[in-house]
Amino acid sequence: MLSLKALSRAHGGKYTHQSGITPGDTREYWLIAQTLQPIPAGAITRSAQIHHSWAMQQQLKAGVLDNFHRYSLIYVTKGCGWFRDERRKDALPVTAGDMLCTFPGIRRAYGPHEGERWNEINVEFSGVIFDAWIGPGLLDPTIPVRRLLPVDYWLRRFHEVVLPLARPGHESSLRDAGRLADLLAEMCDTWQSLHTDPDALWAEQARARLLARVGPLDLAAEGRVFGLGEQAYRKKFKRLCGVTPTAFHARHLIEQACHRLIESDISVKALAFESGFGTPFSFSRRFKQLTGCSPEEYRKKALQ
């Protein structure tokens, strides 16, 4: 296997030999890519591969949990340690072949056993495209440590996603997010447990109904399908899917609108009504809330 220094020379990015807090303690750090102006709809914001990493070992030891405002995947390729977040009392064991999934707003810490080091590759990402991948049977905040073997295969899949970002002069595009979405799909297929987990099956059915829904969202009607009142349905959906049904439905509509803006010359006014919004203004306002830019700006950036 090529060293990180050799990989950096071959593909780009920035390789450094970094010093730690303890004298003589060093790690190899390959910053594969970092995006300073990510596409709001969906982008890989940073990726790195690290050998002899101490990760968040000091915070883990001190019981300090840090917050982070993006999603991240940390795949441990060598070594073992622990993962802890604010949603559970006990730390979870981590070993080579484990994927750590962290989520915005959930404080966490992770790292190798005290005095030891591990190897990892990580990717940070954000955007409405990825919000729909959160929930039971998918990237699940209740199961932050997941198993993926063999290590060589999944490391290669990570490289297929992030190495194109390391090329000199590369500009972030939605195609980068598409490669990551494909990796997420393969990961989730591997973890899929819908046939044995009643909560996961319920969430999948509830999500599928919202994805197929045409017209305004009626939460009371959705609740009745599952024998629940509106408030109970809303709470169960939020608990199992990570977002409210209203937010999930809106994000789906905007994601579909993103595709239409790129693939067609439909006007924003026509797209607003096609997407089920009452007025172009309400559509544009919601679009900007979720993507960070107006529909016109999004189309212009995506087609550059």
Q: At what angle do helices 245-263 and 198-212 cross, to 10 degrees?
A: 50
pTM of the entire structure? Answer: 0.67
Query: Is the pLDDT reported for residue 304 higher than 70?
Result: no
Strand order across the 145-147 sheet: 14-19, 26-34, 43-53, 118-126, 71-78, 98-102, 145-147
CATH of 4-191, one of 3.90.740.10, 1.10.357.10, 2.60.120.280, 1.10.10.10: 2.60.120.280
- Residue range 275-296: mean pLDDT, rounded: 86
- Residue range 201-227: mean pLDDT, rounded: 85
Q: Name the band, by pLDDT with cuts 50, 70 and 90, for residue 194.
A: very low
DSSP 134: B
Place of tokens 């803006």: 261
Q: Which CATH architecture has domain 198-302?
A: Orthogonal Bundle (1.10)
Q: Domain ranges for the chain, please list them.
A: 4-191, 198-302
CB 13 within 8 A of CB 32: yes
Nearest in space to 292 (alpha carbons), one of 47, 171, 126: 126
Rg (CA), the chain: 21
CB 295 within 8 A of CB 271: yes
Return the pLDDT at 104: 92
CB atoms within 10 A of CB 147: 10
Nearest in space to 300 (alpha carbons), one of 264, 272, 271, 261: 261
Which residues pair with residue 30 across a beta bridge? 15, 49
Those residues with Cβ within 8 angstroms of residue 290's Cβ, 6 or more apart along the chain or in another chain:
40, 128, 250, 251, 254
Q: Each residue of 29-80: pLDDT tens digit?
A: 999 999 988 888 899 999 999 999 999 998 988 889 999 889 999 999 998 9
Return the pLDDT at 56: 94
What the block records as the tokens of 217 is 């969202």
